[in-house]
Amino acid sequence: MSNFWQTLDNPPTEFSVIPFWFWNDDLDADELRRQIADFQAHGVDGFLIHPRVGLPRDLGWMSEKLLAFYDVAIEEAARRGMQVILYDEGMYPSGSSCGQVVAENPAFQCRCLAKVDLAPGEEPQLADGQTLAAVVARQNGQRVAVIDRPLDAFIRGLHYIGDGLDENASAEDEPPAGDLLNPEAVDCFLRLVYDKFAARFGQYFGKTVIAIFTDEPSPLGRPRERGIWPGTTGILGEVKRILGYDFTPHLPSLWYDDEPEAAHFRSEYARAIGLRMEDVWYQRLYDWCSSHGLPLTGHPAQADDLGAERYFHIPGQDLVWRWVLPDHPSALEGEQSTQAKCASSAMLHLGRRRNLNELCGAYGHGLTWAEMNWLADWCFVRGANLLVPHAFYYSMRGIRRDERPPDVGPNSAWWDRYPVHAARCARLAWLNTDSRHICHTAILGASDRLPWQAAKVLFEHQRDFNYLEERHLWEDAQVDASGIRIAGMHYTALILDQSPHPAALPALALLEESGRLIRHAPAAPAGELVARLDALVVPDVTVAPPAPALRVRHIQKDGMDCWLLFNERREPLETNVHLAGAGELLRVDPATGERVEFVNGDTLALAGYELTLLIGV
């Protein structure tokens, strides 16, 4: 017990926040070292090197001059016992090596499927680089040519057009996006970036350099065109292999709403593309990192891309663009509300140790200290244990200040208070690591869709859960009359509120026969779902009066029972809280470690946005 409290008071530096560090101006070795020292003096024991728009052109992506500054930063981090994560692109989304993939082979340019309506008797005309994927007839008899062709798509680049000082000269380079559905193009990317990192910094892998970060890879890059779908040469054969049927007759549904079951077949095609991305992109990166002893981290393109998380050694997600906000429906509703549970659930079911959330990106200069802490706690109470603040800026010169703001570190109004925030985050990250999640409820999700309606009900009634990707039901989970066992978790209730994959039906039938399956209609009354759940899972936390703003997480850490309780709203709350099976308790302030007694069942008062710990003794 004493070791638990000693470590909670002084968590190891490995649990530090690891911010994006925007290298966005002309770099200087002494200034890099000064900023690193400043980070550490404020409780930040790691950083993620993120080359960013604003670099001068002589600091090109993967250039010798730029990598020499990596040497400086990594060597200084090693000297100080800090951690470094490498970012794999210049700038994002990942996969083009800042245009170098396409420069090496123009055939590696991002491709798509586009349609051409054919007049009676007309034959499709193909330009250079285009191939005919199919000619199909719509339900009204009109013939449509589906063309596989290069796509006019780009990624954000590292350099302003101009020096970045003129407020009217903020245009950026736009390197061409690579074809992430083409294995040869992905292999080229790995050679240009990952192999070069290994040759240069391999001695630090698994020590100072703790991971490599890939960022929201997209098979379409950032397209300048509309009316196209992801594709690559030969994609229809791959879609047939993945879906188990010939998709060709259904191609018109990608463009025309009046085709039979258009929404269904669009979803099917998108699912097939996602699974093809797993095979061609994620699996290759995962295998490379595994063979080099360097964890792959980062996040997929979508908040509920649970399937892709299986290819991350450190699954991750991304809170950006004010998509999730305090005192707003977005905290509980919509696909973005699923993201922190997406990453933490993947960590548990895949047997990973850490999961991350990038947060605060592009929340704007108006982001407040309270909002920043709220976003962190929103993640922690959902199981995150590595935060990647977006971002610490190397330079605020000229228009750099307004590039996806704010700076949440050295150039912020709260930098003098940051050590408190950093220590608090480290404590919560440590608690959520190498601990056992006490949870017996799962919500079934697809590889590319996580339902949020049932999740909202559970959150508001203090019934914790994890998302279970349906592939586990036929791949590695043990399913019997007692429920589902996977990676040390035992779920005695599974909530289903979307159409499952056919391969999941045998497991679901067994669960339904044993009374372990709860079919939930999103419009059903909340009380009905809670009552059905409570018949299968003894509530771990009960409150009176109801407290819909209260979020809970129960873990066991080093033999200690710990509950995280978070008031997710601005209004203070008071409610009597009873923790099942708990004896003597201490209430712990995660910011200071201060401890006071708490009697189980007594009134718990939480200020607006306050997170507290209750720990059994």
Contact 582, 561 (CB under 8 A): yes
Each residue of 351-367: pLDDT tens digit? 999 999 999 999 999 99
Q: Looking at the predicted structure, is the pLDDT value of residue 498 above 90? A: no
Residues, the chain, total? Answer: 617
What distances in angstroms separate CA 123 from CA 87, 116, 299, 362, 606, one per listed residue?
Answer: 46, 10, 43, 48, 70
- Please tell me the distance from the alpha carbon of residue 246 to that of residue 229, in angstroms, as a whole number: 17
Q: Which pair of tokens denotes residue 313? A: 């050694």
Question: CA distances (Å), 261 to each of 238, 257, 268, 501, in order?
Answer: 21, 9, 11, 17
Average pLDDT over residues 481-504: 96
- SS3 of 507, please? helix
Residue 97 confidence (pLDDT) above 60:
yes
- Checking if the pLDDT of 168 tops 70, the result is no
Locus of tokens 């989304």: 93
Sign of CA dihedral 214, 215, 219, 221: negative
Pairing of strands 83-87, 209-215: parallel
Distance of CA 30 to CAs 18, 76, 453, Å? 21, 11, 52
3-class DSSP assignment, residue 535: coil
Residue 488: is its pLDDT beyond 80? yes
Segment 204-209 shows an average pLDDT of 98
Q: What is the mean pLDDT of residues 127-147?
A: 94
Residue 169 confidence (pLDDT): 62
Which domains, and CATH codes, for the chain?
13-103+159-226+275-434 (3.20.20.80), 104-154 (no CATH), 439-538 (3.40.50), 543-616 (2.60.40.1180)
For 22-70, the pLDDT digits (tens) are 999 999 999 999 999 999 999 999 999 999 999 999 999 999 999 999 9
- Residue 414, exposed/middle/buried by CB under 10 A (0-12, 13-18, 19+)? middle
Does residue 117 contact residue 108 with C-beta atoms inside 8 Å? no
Provide the sign of the torsion angle of the four alpha carbons 535, 538, 540, 543, taken in this order. positive
Instruction: Please report which residue ranges of 105-245 form alpha helices under DSSP H.
Output: 183-189, 195-201, 235-243
The token duo for 244 is 């188990």
Q: Is 370 helix (H, G, I), strand (E, B) or coil?
A: helix
Q: Which helix (H) or strand (E) holds 9?
A: helix 2-9
Q: What is the C-alpha separation between 317 and 336, in angstroms, rounded?
A: 10
Confidence of residue 535 (pLDDT cuts 50, 70, 90): very high
Question: Which residues pair with residue 598 across a beta bridge?
Answer: 585
Residue 1 has pLDDT above 60, yes or no: no
- Token code pair at residue 236: 């229809």
Judged against a pLDDT cut of 70, whether residue 167 lies above it is answered with no
How many Å apart are CA 39 and CA 418, to the nearest integer? 10
**Residue tagged 């499709």 (tokens):** 124
Instruction: Residue 185: name the closest of 280, 276, 279 by CA.
Output: 280
Query: Does the pLDDT value for residue 522 go beyond 90?
Result: no
Question: Can you give the pLDDT at residue 515?
Answer: 97
Q: Which tokens go with 345?
A: 């659930």
Least confident of 240-244, 268-272, 496-500: 496-500
Sign of the CA dihedral running 13, 288, 359, 51: positive
Q: The pTM is what? A: 0.95
Q: Which ranges of 450-525 does DSSP label H, i.e. alpha helix?
A: 453-460, 472-475, 505-513
Least confident of 2-11, 74-83, 163-172, 453-462: 163-172
Distance, in Å, from the CA atom of 336 to the CA atom of 59, rounded to the nearest integer, reads 35
What are the φ/ψ torsions at residue 227 (nearest 5 degrees)? 75, 25
d(CA 164, CA 523): 51
Peptide bond into 260 cis (omega under 30): no
| pLDDT over threshold 90, residue 116 | yes
Decide if pLDDT at 92 tops 60. yes
E strand map for 421-536: 436-437, 441-445, 466-469, 478-480, 483-486, 489-491, 493-496, 517-519
At 496, list the tokens: 């289903």
* Predicted pLDDT of residue 166: 53
How would you classify the pairing of strands 483-486 and 489-491?
antiparallel
d(CA 62, CA 197): 9
Whether 124 has a pLDDT exceeding 70, the answer reads yes
At 438, the pLDDT band (50, 70, 90 cuts) reads very high
Neighbours of 121 (CB within 10 A): 6
Averaged over 148-168, what is the pLDDT?
82
Task: Report the chain's mean pLDDT, rounded to a whole number.
Answer: 96
Residue 163 binned pLDDT confidence (cut-offs 50, 70, 90): low
CA of residue 387 relative to chain centroid, distance: 11
Element (H, E) at 210: strand 209-215
Per-residue pLDDT at 407: 98
DSSP code of 286?
Answer: H
Lowest-confidence segment of 163-177, 190-204, 380-394, 517-531 by average pLDDT: 163-177
